[in-house]
Amino acid sequence: MNILITGACGHIGSYLVENLHKIKKVKKAFLIDNLESNRLDTLFNYKKKNKIEFFKRDLTDPKSLKGFKNINLVIHLASMTNAAKSFKLRKEMYSNNLNSFKTVINFCKKNRVKLIHVSTTSVYTKNTSLVDENCEKKYLKPQSPYAKIKLIEEKILKNLGKKLKYNTFRLGTIAGVSKGIRFHTAVNNFCLSVALGESIKVYKTALHQFRPYLSLGDVFKLFKFTIEKNFYENDIYNVVSNNYTVYEIIKKIRKYRKNIKISNVYSPIMNHLSYHVSKKKLSAKGLYLNSNLDRDIANTLNLFKNIK
Ligand SMILES: NC(=O)c1ccc[n+]([C@@H]2O[C@H](COP(=O)([O-])OP(=O)(O)OC[C@H]3O[C@@H](n4cnc5c(N)ncnc54)[C@H](O)[C@@H]3O)[C@@H](O)[C@H]2O)c1
């Protein structure tokens, strides 16, 4: 089959492309990115056997996917993704992410192409217990513009009914190393701070709150599973390796680096209370994810091993 990957130069996209040869069903991949993230280096030295072709396209242009033929699946990863900065970039983010999304779904509808749509577990709001995909609406109150946009995308897909075959995957916060690694998400950001000898900045009150995390390796398993099992049910699934508190994450980092300083910071998204995100629904479909993130943390810290 032929697939088209948007946002291919990003943190997740570059990991997927690097490992694509492990999905035998994929014969060719067309990679799309507008290179706004400036991660040209992700395109260097890809393994030849992946059979990939790169196209610089901005998906906010409704015609940007014109001319792509014989595509069976789109994995849509292109987005502006910094949740904390999305408060200041609200307008740009709404415009970029929703217009890109529209280009993708119009392409999929017109050409009968399946879609893997990624959302975020940040669509859930404060809750002291477990949240799952069927939770009451009152628990779906995303705090950041970034997560609000994801919820809008989910609704647009739901309203399309059977016009499109897709799954929406609500991903936990990603941890792990790829060519396009970013450091604005929690685990990677903590590792960066430790490597630079700076204090880990924790949102005030967040130290003992649970959050859902997801190893890059587990995201790849998700894509492989979806493609190999033809898993498109027009439904929403949480995708989580495990739920941890910030304190537990810091304890994991401490296994590799002993001297860690912690300081409290304010953030507009810190008023989330503790929540566990259930992964039962996906497990029941046969995909059980359970990375403890130790390897992701070790690999991330290892990137800085020669820096004093
Ligand atoms: N990383 C996480 O922790 C996390 C968690 C939950 C969900 N997600 C979602 O997974 C997807 C991929 O995340 P990521 O971490 O790889 O993000 P990323 O920011 O590393 O990569 C996104 C890529 O999309 C490209 N892009 C942005 N706008 C574009 C446009 N208009 N046209 C073409 N390309 C465009 C950027 O240049 C970038 O290379 C996003 O939808 C994100 O919201 C990520």
- For the Cβ of 11 lying below 6 angstroms from any atom of ligand 1, the answer is yes
Cα 292 to middle of ligand 1, angstroms: 23
Residue partners of 23: CB distance under 8 A and separation at least 6: 223, 224, 227, 228
Only one residue has tokens 């924790």, namely 202
Mean pLDDT of all residues belonging to the chain: 92
- For the Cβ of 187 lying below 6 angstroms from any atom of ligand 1, the answer is no
Atom 27 (ligand 1): residue with closest C-alpha?
79
* Eight-class DSSP state of 179: T
**Does residue 308 surpass a pLDDT of 90?**
no
Greatest Cα pair distance, the chain, in angstroms, is 56
Cα 308 to middle of ligand 1, angstroms: 31
284: number of Cβ within 10 Å: 10
- For the Cβ of 153 lying below 6 angstroms from any atom of ligand 1, the answer is no
What's the average model confidence in pLDDT over 214-235? 98
Which among 204, 239, 237 is positioned nearest to 221, based on CA atoms?
239
What's the average model confidence in pLDDT over 214-228? 98
- For the Cβ of 77 lying below 6 angstroms from any atom of ligand 1, the answer is yes
Model confidence at 86, in pLDDT bands (50, 70, 90)? confident
Which among 34, 20, 15 is positioned nearest to 73, based on CA atoms?
20
pLDDT digits (tens, 9 = 90+) for 233-266: 999 999 999 999 999 999 999 999 988 999 988 7
pLDDT digits (tens, 9 = 90+) for 175-216: 999 999 999 889 999 999 999 999 998 877 778 888 899 999
Higher pLDDT, 121 or 82: 121
Q: Are strands 210-215 and 173-175 parallel, antiparallel or unpaired?
A: parallel
Cα 48 to middle of ligand 1, angstroms: 24
To test ligand 1's pocket by mutation, which of 81, 178, 189 has the most ligand atoms within 8 angstroms of CB?
Answer: 81
282: helix, coil or strand? helix
**Does residue 268 surpass a pLDDT of 70?**
no
- For the Cβ of 224 lying below 6 angstroms from any atom of ligand 1, the answer is no
Residue 143 is predicted with a pLDDT of 79
49 phi-psi bin (left φ>0, alpha ψ -120 to 50, beta other): alpha
CA distances 204 to 123, 141, 168, 209, 254, Å, are 21, 21, 32, 11, 20
Q: Are strands 2-6 and 28-33 parallel, antiparallel or unpaired?
A: parallel
Atom 12 (ligand 1): residue with closest C-alpha?
77
Which among 77, 73, 1 is positioned nearest to 39, based on CA atoms?
77
Which among 126, 127, 108, 128 is positioned nearest to 117, based on CA atoms?
108
Cα 81 to middle of ligand 1, angstroms: 5
**Does residue 32 surpass a pLDDT of 70?**
yes
What's the average model confidence in pLDDT over 141-151? 90
Contact present, 80 and 98 (Cβ < 8 Å): no
Query: What's the CATH class of domain 2-178+214-240?
Result: alpha beta
**Does residue 75 surpass a pLDDT of 80?**
yes
What's the average model confidence in pLDDT over 218-235? 98
Q: Which amino acid is at 51?
A: K
> Above pLDDT 70, what percent of the chain?
96
Q: Which amino acid is at 41?
A: D
Which among 4, 20, 9, 13 is positioned nearest to 66, based on CA atoms?
4
To test ligand 1's pocket by mutation, which of 18, 38, 77 has the most ligand atoms within 8 angstroms of CB?
Answer: 77
Residue 4 is predicted with a pLDDT of 98
291/299 Cα distance (integer angstroms): 14
**Does residue 274 surpass a pLDDT of 90?**
no
- For the Cβ of 296 lying below 6 angstroms from any atom of ligand 1, the answer is no
Least confident among 69-83, 202-216, 289-303: 202-216
Cα 37 to middle of ligand 1, angstroms: 9
Least confident among 32-36, 44-48, 144-148: 44-48
Residue 22 token pair: 């492990």
**Does residue 284 surpass a pLDDT of 90?**
yes
pLDDT digits (tens, 9 = 90+) for 87-127: 888 999 999 999 999 999 999 999 999 999 999 998 987 65
79/98 Cα distance (integer angstroms): 9
What's the average model confidence in pLDDT over 31-40? 91
What stretches of the chain adopt beta strand conformation (E)? Answer: 2-6, 28-33, 52-56, 73-76, 114-120, 130-131, 166-171, 173-175, 200-203, 210-215, 235-239, 242-245, 262-265, 276-277
What's the average model confidence in pLDDT over 14-38? 94
Length of the chain: 308
- For the Cβ of 12 lying below 6 angstroms from any atom of ligand 1, the answer is yes
Residue 272 is predicted with a pLDDT of 55
- For the Cβ of 165 lying below 6 angstroms from any atom of ligand 1, the answer is no
Q: What residue spans define the domains of the chain?
A: 2-178+214-240
Residue 118 is predicted with a pLDDT of 98
- For the Cβ of 238 lying below 6 angstroms from any atom of ligand 1, the answer is no
